Structure formats: structure tokens, C-alpha cells
Chain A
């Protein structure tokens, strides 16, 4: 991968990021004024105006935007109203947790769906295949937060096997990971099954068979590597989504990730938090995309990273 290419991509991404941040700035400001939320109901009008002035919210939006923009270029995202400390610091505390959660869930989903997808593709139309089809469709269709609630009900409240929610040792990760896995697992099984069936019907697989390769070799050496490409694309997209936080799942499990942070930030009108989490997530997504492209090129030599 040429440095020129990296440079070009980074420049493009930076421009896109600026556009995104600009839009974010105006959007969050459209959701209302945080002052009422942050002052006691009894606080006087004067106190409210004072706070507004202190936050700079009394100035014209354009002026606020200009300041925001200058600060953004200096990578200064301001302080969180709610947390009372630099917003980026708060985000950087939550981000690794979200990334770990997403990575674990995706990695497991990917590994599992490769196995299951290959099994289904081996005998399309068979009973096993149809069973897998139903299960994976169900997994792809289940609302993750609902699954979360039901898991809490069954495994935590009734069976008391796992903690209800929160953050801590491995036990705390089980349910969020499972809930987050469901949809990717379902989607990936469908995709891998489809691309695997296609690959197994491809001409080069006939060649491999004609060469005398056994079915295992045909499936895993010849077909699978080709069949993985669409799965990698989808996994990349999912990874990008997960980088933004398991959203609702994080809320359900009280998992202190960036998704919950963003949702709370939105509900609390904590502009700095919203802006810095969107920024951080956008950067992560950019890195994920590059990673996916590189992975793609590693799997398929026809794809040149450029």
C-alpha cells in the first residue's frame, strides 16, 4: 500500500469528517438548550441567562460554530457538561469497552457463522440446511434489546446464572456479547451460505474436483477463501456499526460504552460528548474501512488497494 494512497484517503476522510462534524454541530444545537436541564427548576431567570452566557450559548450560532471549528482543528472538543471534564477523555474511556465488546461479538459471530454457513452450504436444501436457514433468519430478525431483556429475565433473574447488567469480570460480558452477536451471526450465516453455494458451483471448484481434491479440501481451501469476500464486506459494515456502540444493547445492560454515552449525551444535551463521540467513532470507522480493504486485498489478489 503506497503512502500516497494513504495520504489521499486520509485527506478525503478528513474532509468527510469535517462535513460530518459541521452537520453534527448544527443538528445537536437544534435539539434544544441544555441550560434548563442542568439548573435546578428553582434557579432564577438571571441564573439561567448567566449559565447560557457562560456556555457561550447566547452568541449567534455562526460565532459558536466558528469557535467550535477552530477548537476542532486543535482537537479540542470542550468539556462535558454532565461529566464536568474534557469530553474526549470521557469518550476515550468508553470507546475501548465498546470496541472490545463489538470485536468479541463480531469475531465469535464470524467464526461461528463460517462453520454453520459451510455446513449449510454443503447440502443445500437438506433438512440441516433448512434448519440452519430458519435459525439464522430468526437470529437476524430478533430485536437485540428484546433478546437482551429476555436473557436478563431468564438467565439473570430466574436462573441467576449471570449478572443482570453492569460492567466487570467475564460474566458481565456474556449476555451483551450474545445479544450483540445474534444479528451479525444470522446475517453472516445467510451470506456465507449463499456465497459458499455459489463458490461450490464455480468453475474453479470443478477444476479442483477434477484434480482429485477431496471434498474437505475443495470446500475449505478452494471455495471458502473465495466465499469469504462478501462476508468480509458485511463484517466490515457491521464493525463500523458496532464502533458506534452496541447502542440499545449497551443501554439494556448498562454497559458503559460509547453507544450508551452517545445516547445519554443526546438525551442530556451534552453537546461536547455527542460531538466527541461522533468524532471518535468516525475515526475508528475510517480505520476499520482501511483494515477491511487490506484484508480484502489479502484474501483476493485481484483487488488492489488503491
Chain B
């Protein structure tokens, strides 16, 4: 504590510590590896490696793991004879993209509203909270349907609808945390120096609230992915010809007994990705809580 001389530049030290902590947690490490794999797949797809993934009705429902085919067909082909690998990659971009953008949108708006509601309270706070209560009370299905019906079934609209329905959780957490942080002594100290509300929110409250929001966001990426897949499964989310994992499951359902791989792989992908985000959220929590650091370290030594 007192005389630990830290000569290393802080950013590097932090990065090194994060890497060490990551290696110490095998589950988190696996998650990162999986996400990187998915990312590579997406990049491969967008850069056209799967080009020629055209409809080919003769290759319809080709079974997977037949290594005698072209490598693109190792995961089998879908109902229109396109390589499943390419479809999975394209769906990954939609599914993860939707989840990330949705969460980004809702985390920013939700945090801002939560900070405002928590710090100022009063009428604005009450208004924000009631509004978020009402949003929470709604069946998301209905909201999604209305949104998609009114504004057309596009990915953008899906993102907006999902972002709105996810926002309340951020508002609540940000508000609760703000209420707590607001009472801490260092906030009082800043006030004694003459810090105004925005100064305090920006410099003192936000930095404390942000890691919690980040953790929540990570969990929420997982939730949104599940949710989007559910909506798409019901035909209320991503619409063909666009494709997402959820939609692939829905489409694969028709081939449940004839070509199980059509529904199996996208479902597995949803599960692994969701799990990765959850595990990373866990890991992130531990990394951000010094009292739990020994967990990471102990594992490293074993």
C-alpha cells in the first residue's frame, strides 16, 4: 500500500493486470476465445471469403461434418443450399450487431436518465421512474409488434424497440447507484468546493457508476440476444431475407426431423455467445471488486 513504488506506466500496468486476470479465469478466457472466433467468422464473411454462397437448390439440406465437400460446407447447407457456415456468420453479424447496438443505445440513454433521476430526484426523477415502470409493465412482444408494424420490419426498428424495452433496467440501476454515491463523502467534498450538479455527476458519480453499468450491459447483451432470437422465432423480429440466429432456429424448426443441423447450430451459437457475455460480466465484476481479486490469483497459482 504505502510504499509500493509503481514505476510502470499505469495504462500498461492495468492492461497487464487484466490479461493476467483473464488468463487466471479459464471460463472467461474461453468466452473471449469464442467471441474472437465469432468475430473472425463475421470478418471472413463480410470480406467475402464465403462468396459463392449462392442459392443452390441441389445442395439443399446437405448434412454437416462431411469433410469430402468444399470446406465451406463442413457445417452443412441450409434449405436453399447455402453453406450453413456462411449463414451462421451472416446471422452472427445481425444477432450480435443488434444486441450490441441495442445495448449501447439503452445503456447510454438509461444511464443518463438514471443519473438525472437519482441525482435530482423530485418531479423529474419521479417522472422518469414512472415512465420506466410503465415500459417495464408491458409485454415486450406487444411493443415489438407495434413498433415493427408501425415503422416496418427493419433491423433499425427492432433495435429501437428493444432498446426502449431494455432501458428501464439501466435507469433503475443507475438511479439506485447514484442515490448511494450521491451520499458519499467525496461528493460532499466536491460540493464544498462549489461543484455544481453537472460537475459532480460527470466527475464523481459517473466514473463510479460506469463499471456497474458496463457489467449490466454485458449481461444485457446476452439478454437482448436471447430476446431477439425469441422474437425472431415468433416471426416478430428479424424478417427474411435478413437472417439472425433466432430466425435460423425458427426456420430450422421446419426441418427438425429432416435436417436437425439447421436449427441446432444457430441455437448453440446463441447459447455459447450468451454464455460468453454472462461469464465475461462475472469476470468483470470480480476484476472490479478488489475484495475478490484473490479468486483470480489463486487460480493462477494452482
Contacts and interface: CB of A to CB of B under 8 A. Distances in A.
A282 B233 contact: no
Nearest to B30: A134
Interface in A247-299: 247-248, 251, 262-263, 266, 274, 278, 281-282
Given A32-B149, A149-B256, A141 B141 contact: no
B256 A153 contact: yes
A262 B139 contact: yes
A278 B246 CA distance: 25
B138 A20 contact: yes
**Most chain B Cβ neighbours within 10 Å, of A133, A140, A146, A274:** A146
B69 interface: no
Interface stretch (B8-16, B58-66, B264-272): B264-272
Interface residues of A, number: 41
Interface stretch (B45-53, B73-81, B200-208, B273-281): B273-281
B145 A31 contact: yes
Interface string A196-208: 0000000000000
B233 A30 contact: no
A278 B267 contact: no
**Most chain B Cβ neighbours within 10 Å, of A140, A141, A147:** A141
Interface stretch (A21-29, A90-98, A222-230): A21-29
Given A24-B142, A133-B27, A153-B256, A140 B278 contact: yes
Contacts of B282: 137
B38 to A, nearest CB: 14
B127 interface: no
Contacts of B222: 141
B185 interface: no
Interface SS of chain A: helix, strand, loop or mixed? helix
A5 to B, nearest CB: 19
B263 A20 contact: no
A157 B145 CA distance: 32
B192 interface: no
B146 interface: yes
A16 B298 CA distance: 50
B113 interface: no
A56 interface: no
Contact of B141 (A140, A144, A263): A263
B233 A248 contact: yes
B271 A30 contact: no
B134 A143 contact: no
Given A143-B249, A149-B253, A27 B143 contact: yes
Contact of B142 (A147, A248, A251, A266): A266
B260 interface: yes
A266 B145 contact: yes
Contacts of A130: 27
Interface in B241-263: 246, 249, 252-253, 256-257, 260, 263
Given A142-B271, A145-B249, A248-B230, 4 more contacts: A16-B134, A137-B279, A140-B278, A141-B274
